[in-house]
Amino acid sequence: MELFRRHPDNPILSSSHLPYQVNTVFNAGATQVGDDIVLLMRVEDRRGISHFSVARSSDGISNWRIEERPSIMPDPDSYPEEIWGIEDSRITYLEEKSLWAITYTAWSEFGPLVSLATTVDFRDFQRQGPVMPPENKDAALFPIRFNGRWAMIHRPVAKKEGTGAHIWISFSPDLRHWGGHRMILQARGDAWWDTSKIGLGPPPLKTQDGWLILYHGVKTTGSGVIYRLGLALLDLNDPTRVIARCDEWVFAPEKEYEVSGDVDKVVFPCGWVPEGDHLRLYYGAADSYIALATASVSELLAWLKQHNIY
């Protein structure tokens, strides 16, 4: 049986749900706000440039309420790094600050970088500017501080030829100044399903066994790339310490809406919403749709124990 079970109504959101004409919707950040599930959808317009649009639903599956106009448009006049669009948000609630922190990819003239915004209601957003220079993406904050420092996972691209793109962690006293950079998970190379590039999916999830990490791994094949998903676990008190990493992938493009779209064979989650042991995973499918899968956190942890390479 699959660990992540696809919702029968998949894909739950597509371009036809938008009240204005767009190319695609995919790779949405997700969180619970009051009684609603809120998605911060990546919307690619018909120029090819992405912005964010908020979708709200009380069951997280249907009857999405989507605003008439984009929620956050790229603003290259004030934020030049957003010239080619804003993409792939990850949302973390910071209880200490009573706000949501949103990390996203800003596509600058010099390549993708990581920017930060905050909000208390998903109506008004406060940009905090870039936090990681290019090339960097797939970033998310932890919800708490470690020894007084905030922590962020991100994915810089190594310049050294053939070394791939790996997952790093960095620390900050104030969410602005980042240091203590350290590589924690490496693209595995060789025949592996996560051979060439890996990147964080949703923000790290606190569990009894550690911080649960869902990441995408990329393999280039004769017919293009395949984006599949794997699991890892970081130590609860010291997230630079990897305590588990899967051998096999846990989720891969199989359904028509995952296999065929603007970019074929892509599953790309940016958000999950836990409720006790039950987990809803929102993922982009083929860079064209938003889909939902559910899982049990304890089943994921049990599977990871069996498939741990550490």
Query: Given the rule CB under 6 A, which residues bind ligand BMA?
Result: 27, 87-88, 227, 263, 266, 268, 284, 287
Strand bridging mode 111-119 / 150-156: unpaired
Nearest residue (CB) to ligand BMA, 103 versus 209? 103
* Contact predicate 269/42, CB 8 Å: no
3-state class (DSSP) for residue 125:
coil
**40, exposed or middle or buried, with CB in 10 Å at 0-12, 13-18, 19+?**
buried
Q: Which residue is nearest to ligand BMA (CB)?
A: 263
CB of 199 to ligand BMA, least distance (A): 7
CB of 52 to ligand BMA, least distance (A): 13
State how far the Cα of 139 lies from the Cα of 114, in Å rounded to an integer: 7
Segment (H or E) for 257: helix 256-259
**196, exposed or middle or buried, with CB in 10 Å at 0-12, 13-18, 19+?**
middle
Nearest residue (CB) to ligand BMA, 204 versus 284? 284
State how far the Cα of 262 lies from the Cα of 203, in Å rounded to an integer: 25
Nearest residue (CB) to ligand BMA, 143 versus 201? 201
CB of 18 to ligand BMA, least distance (A): 18
CB of 239 to ligand BMA, least distance (A): 24
Nearest residue (CB) to ligand BMA, 268 versus 282? 268
Return the amino acid letter for 269.
P
CB of 173 to ligand BMA, least distance (A): 30
Nearest residue (CB) to ligand BMA, 171 versus 249? 249
> What are the tokens at 307?
């498939």
CB of 286 to ligand BMA, least distance (A): 9
Nearest residue (CB) to ligand BMA, 209 versus 287? 287
Question: Which long-range contacts (C-beta less than 8 Å, at least 24 apart) are formed by 179-185?
Answer: 180/149, 182/240, 184/153, 184/234, 184/239, 184/240, 184/242, 185/213, 185/215, 185/232, 185/242, 185/245
